[in-house]
Structure 1
Amino acid sequence: MAEHARILLDGLPGAGTLPVALRIARGLVGEDGVIGVVDTQRGAAARYADEHRFLHLRVDSCSPKAMPDIVMAAVAAGVDCLIVDTFTSFWSGRDGLLMLVDQHRKSPTQSGWAEARPYEQAMMDALLDYPGHIIATLRVRSEIAVGADDTGRPSPWKVALKPDHRDGLEYDFQVAASLGLDGALTITSTCVEDVLDLQLGAVHAKPGEEFGQQLAAWLGQGVVEPTLRDYLARCAAPDATSAELFALAEQVQARGMAGLTVRNRQGQTGPLISLLTAKAKWLARREQQTPSPPPAPDTSSLVPPASGVPDYVPDDKMTVAELTLRIAHAPDHDGLNTVEQDLADLKANNVISSNDHGHLYRQVEQRRYNLTHAGAQQ
């Protein structure tokens, strides 16, 4: 199966992990690809905007709970390669996992890890299931060592100890590499065995686009499976059928993607499988209604639908107001069908109450009657 790149890049301060990540990303996505940077360094990534083209998202609170929303924003923006600089911030930074553990630590016997682990897993699932390439950068813990220089005098230098993140993180990535202060990249973990430049211990003096191109070529071999973006596109396609969407729902369930959080056109979020099944059920109801040739217009047979409940009070005023405006300005029956589909999605995902749903459905029927009556008079 073809895959997207998952790269882990660490380096000491001054090694230039982000510029290297940007060059590798350009090699992965090509000249016309879209690169996005999740910046946890107080907007520091913007200083590289003169040399590199990328979308920039500054993140000040690095809670693991935020990662699904970050990923959804990147998907919506069409980002082909997402760089998280630095991923360390989601571990030991402001509101990171270690801080979350401290918040849940109630006693010496209750460490807080049991409560925090699900958030960590949700963060990793969202990141690693991203429908594009991922490059995550890490800070490296260091210490000062003192030795002798060429003249024999004492000389201090920084010695890298280990990346600042949980142990074993590299197992979730295809390639892990370390950057030295001289700019050289050394591969420290890899799943690539048949490409010499991507094997364990390979050194790249000046890593750039060619590194990303080599990795993309190797990963691109094989069958290309649908991505999250592909599923969303088919769900919104005008020629989609209920049978197709039910089959896609079974497919995402089998691939472990059912619980991925997605956002619909109204801004509501929920699992991918709920979106697919809700749309499939709505299409199934539409398909059961066999269309018949329209009869000759007869205004005498047109009876207005029943009026709404006089004492109706909306439960969600903003949603009702927005949809009421859409219904009132629907230019034709196709526009009303779109609103009716959105109402079905909201109801299936329990986003709208039965009270509001019934009221808005009556509004749709009233508008449909008005459009039909206007057409008959013409």
Structure 2
Amino acid sequence: MQLQKAQRHQVKLRLGLSGASGFGKSYSALLLAYGITEDWTKIAVIDTENNSASLYSHLGNFNVVSLSEPYSPERYIQAIRLCEKEKQEVIIIDSISHEWQGKGGCLHLHEQLGGKFSDWASLTPRHQSFIDAILSSNCHIITTVRKKMDYSMDRDSNGKTRVIKHGLKDITRDGFSYELTVDFELINENHMAKATKDRTGLFMDKPEIIITESVGKMLVQWCNQGISIEEAKLEIAECKSIEGLRLLYQKYSGLRKELNDTILNRRLEIENLKSVVVEQNEIIHPNKISQNGINR
């Protein structure tokens, strides 16, 4: 544990679009994606909405992965991995609501297990794996979420029960928006949006906007500021010693989650290379090997 100076690192965007049906989530997500990458062929839509993404094929030559039931967390993860394998730059998951409430989704699976609170012990890790797949992806990811009206039964001062309307609620597990870079809520059929969570500071407490390509461009400019993950990975790949890897681990402490696998793989490569050198020297110069390794 140690104090370090705060550093800004380049990140991949995790964007959310929520709204009622017909408010333009899919269309807005596509415009956002194009603003980020400016290349339709580098955009993939994981479509759970009966191929609705194809209705916007006139916008550009983007790619579609049709995802039908069962909407299990594992099938979503499989679709994300497919998009990553195909070198897509932006993945749109339209929508994540099915993973929670759709047939084969978490709530449906919970009901099949018996519906007891204890049944979440086996389901929560599966849902978390889905969230982790989004957060750890090397692509920019845009998620859309359906909304429903949320009500509760409360008692007034006279003891009478009445229905209280609390507004629209995201159809996904509570807390997902905390993981996002920016969470936009589409508030009407005119596609007007407001930021309900914003780590960039670009949109919070600002007037409502219509999401266009320019919004995507603003976001990608923001996320490209700071230390590049790709540059860090290149520096790790060129490192020749275990001690050097330790120093890089400290240098990029703010990116440890993103770089952990890269550092571990490079460490294995260095250790394997050392083993090969020792074996070769044992064959060529068997008398020059001590118990502690190669005599210099």
Aligned to 1:222: 226
Residue type of the partner of 1:112?
D
- Paired residue for 1:295? none
Deviation of residue 290 (structure 1)?
4.8
Q: 1:256 corresponds to which residue?
A: 257
Measured against aligned partners, the alpha-carbon deviations of 1:323-347 in whole angstroms (never above 9, x if no partner) come to xxxxxxxxxxxxxxxxxxxxxxxxx
State the match for 2:114 in structure 1.
Answer: 105
Partner SS, residue 229 of structure 2: coil
- Residue equivalent to 1:96: 105
Q: Does 1:114 align with 2:115?
A: no
- CA positional deviation for 1:86: 0.3
Query: Structure 1 residue aligned with 2:141, among 134, 149, 155?
Result: 134
Report percent identity of matched pairs: 23
Instruction: Label 1:103 to 1:46 Cα distance change in 2 as closer, same or farther (>3 A).
Output: same
241 and 25 in structure 1: CA distance in 2 versus 1, 3 angstrom threshold: same
Q: Which stretch shows the higher mean deviation, 276-285 or 26-35?
A: 276-285
Match of 1:169 among 176, 180, 203: 176
> How big is the shift at 1:89?
0.9
Q: CA deviation at 1:32?
A: 6.8
CA distance in 1, matches of 2:196, 2:280: 62
CA 169–280 in structure 1, closer or farther in 2 if over 3 Å, else same: same
After TM superposition, the score normalised by the length of structure 1 is: 0.58
Match of 1:211 among 215, 221, 225: 215
Aligned pairs for 1:1-378 within 5 A: 1-31=9-39, 34-60=42-68, 61-105=70-114, 108=116, 110-142=117-149, 161-179=168-186, 180-193=188-201, 195=202, 198-204=203-209, 206-226=210-230, 243=241, 247=245, 251=249, 255-257=256-258, 279-288=269-278, 290=280
| One-letter amino acid of the counterpart of residue 220, structure 2 | A
Q: Structure 2 CA distance, aligned partners of 1:258 and 1:123?
A: 20
Displacement of 1:17: 0.7
CA distance in 2, matches of 1:33, 1:276: 32
Does structure 1 conserve the Cα–Cα contact (< 8 Å) formed by 2:16 and 2:177?
yes
Q: Is the 8 A contact 1:104 1:116 kept in 2?
A: no
CA positional deviation for 1:280: 4.8
Distance in 2, matches of 1:219 and 1:202, equals 22
Q: Distance in 1 between matches of 2:41 and 2:278?
A: 42
Q: 1:51 offset after TM fit, Å?
A: 1.6
Instruction: Return the alpha-carbon distance in structure 2 between the equivalents of residues 215 and 172 of structure 1.
Output: 16
Distance 1:286 1:219, change over 3 A: same
What SS does the corresponding residue of 1:8 show, helix, strand or coil? strand
- Cα separation, 2, equivalents of 1:242 and 1:71: 33
- 1:104·1:115 contact (CA, 8 Å) conserved in 2? no
- Say which structure, 1 or 2, has more relative contact order (CA 8 Å, 6+ apart): 2
Which structure's residues are more often strand, by fraction? 2
Tell me how far apart the structure 2 counterparts of residues 241 and 175 of structure 1 sit (CA, whole Å). 35
Is this contact kept in 2: 1:242–1:283, CA < 8 A?
no
Bigger radius of gyration: 1
Separation in 2, partners of 1:258, 1:94: 36
Residues 32 and 56 (structure 1), Cα distance of their counterparts in 2 relative to 1, 3 Å cut: closer
Q: CA RMSD in A?
A: 3.4
Given that residues 190 and 200 in structure 1 are in contact (C-alpha distance below 8 angstroms), is that contact kept between their aligned partners in structure 2? no
CA deviation string 1:203-236 (max 9, x = no partner): 11x3210001111112221111249xx96x999x
Write the distance in 2 (CA, Å) between the matches of 1:280 and 1:71: 31
Q: Is the 8 A contact 1:103 1:112 kept in 2?
A: no
Q: What's the offset of the Cα at 1:18?
A: 0.7
Q: Distance in 1 between matches of 2:77 and 2:278?
A: 37
What is the alpha-carbon distance in structure 2 between the residues aligned to residue 26 and residue 225 of structure 1?
22
Cα deviation, residue 124, structure 1: 0.9
* Shift, 1:56, TM fit: 1.1
**What SS does the corresponding residue of 1:83 show, helix, strand or coil?**
strand
Secondary structure of the corresponding residue to residue 256 of structure 1:
helix
